A and B are shown apart, each in its own frame.
Chain A
Amino acid sequence: MNEQASFVQSRGITPSLWNLVWTFNLIALASFGGGLSAWSREVIVVEKQWMGEEEFLTASAMCRILPGANQVNLAVFIGAKFQGIPGAVAAVFGLTLIPVLIVLGLAVLYFQFHHLPSLQKILHGAAAAAVALTLAMAVKTGKKCLHGPIPMLLFLATFVMNGVLRWPLLLVLAIVGPLSLIWAWPRPATK
């Protein structure tokens, strides 16, 4: 692992199944409080050099578009790239097994003690911050892609239908999805 590597590029390494389990487990545990995607890049691209920067970004974009939790999808993608289906399963196990046990432990504590006023109060505060984290994500990603009236309209329509009116997600996607694709479909003869 300590070869003289000064460029952030793929080293052509093929991690074993155990490598995949262990590495994704480390990524998951580092992300206490969030920042999972940043940690994935740090470990996969910078530290282990399993993938180049561009390949990693393309994979992340794809995993964001497809349904499913982005980081779970990324584990499937990277695991499958190196070891096929067993690799995908190994990476997902690594990413989720210990966190599931931690979260379950917290849940048992919570439903046992949530009537305690002090725990209620702490969670009340933490929930306000968690809402803020989601809000911040909307602002940050919105700044990157909401340029011009049409994307703004697609964004607002989705927000109002799903958030304010509480229409089912499938209905919202059926309405806004095709419009989005029509808008974004690449026009020919612009090379």
Chain B
Amino acid sequence: MKIWLQILILFGSLSLLSIGGGNSVLPEMHQRSVNDYHWLTDTQFADVFAISQAAPGPSILIVTLVGYKAAGVVGAFLATAAVIIPAGALVYLVSRFWEHAARSPIRVAIEKGFAPLTVGLVLATAYVLGRSTEHDWRSYLLTAICAGVFIFTKVNPLIVVAIAGLVGFLGWLG
């Protein structure tokens, strides 16, 4: 019971805090679920992140996995509902007003002003996740190469993830 409540409160609040998309709250999610609640280890967190990125559907489904690890299947569904419903309700309300506010200063300011902030949050996510895995120089090299491929080519990310998995399987990451 207590853990269900913790799940609802944690993911419900992360839902409303995740400005700029689900990835922006990953550092906070990591802090709470790994360091505070000890639902999973550092390495497990990085691994469920990889699973949720590679699997189809929204990558926010990492919460399904964290919820599952914390409290089984019930935890998984509670976490998923908690992360979707508050933000979804807000989107619904705002979408009613937004159409009428096309030229208002607040809309212009939010669209322009929050962009740099959002990029900062996304980079913070990459930084925290990069440090949470057992990254040595070989892993950093692989990350750098993959990032180059993602930035400069249009290769399907799934192919890159699969090749990176193969590189790991072959033991080249130590």
Q: Which of B88, B116, B119, B130 has the most CB of A within 10 A?
A: B116
**Chain B contacts for A158, CB-based, 8 A:** 116-117, 119-121, 124
Nearest A residue to B51, CB-CB = A106
Distance of A121 Cα from B109 Cα, bound (Å): 46
Chain B count of residues within 8 A CB distance of the other chain: 104
Chain A contact surface mostly: helix
- The chain A residues found within 8 Å of chain B, CB to CB, are 28-36, 59, 61-73, 76-77, 80-81, 85, 88, 92, 95-96, 98-100, 102-104, 106-108, 110-111, 114, 118, 121-142, 144-146, 151-152, 154-159, 162-164, 166, 168-170, 173, 176-177, 180-186
Q: Which residue of B lies closest to A154 (CB)?
A: B116
Cβ contacts under 8 Å, B130 to chain A: 131, 135
Partner of A99, one of B49, B58, B147, B159: B58
Q: A126-B50, A126-B161, A135-B150 are in contact. List 13 more A-B contacts (CB 8 A).
A: A33-B162, A65-B111, A65-B114, A68-B87, A80-B95, A99-B58, A107-B48, A127-B133, A128-B133, A131-B126, A144-B115, A146-B119, A184-B112
Residues of B within 8 A of A142 (CB): 119, 123
B7 at the interface (CB under 8 A from A): no
Out of B58, B60, B69, B165, which one reaches A125, CB within 8 Å?
Answer: B165
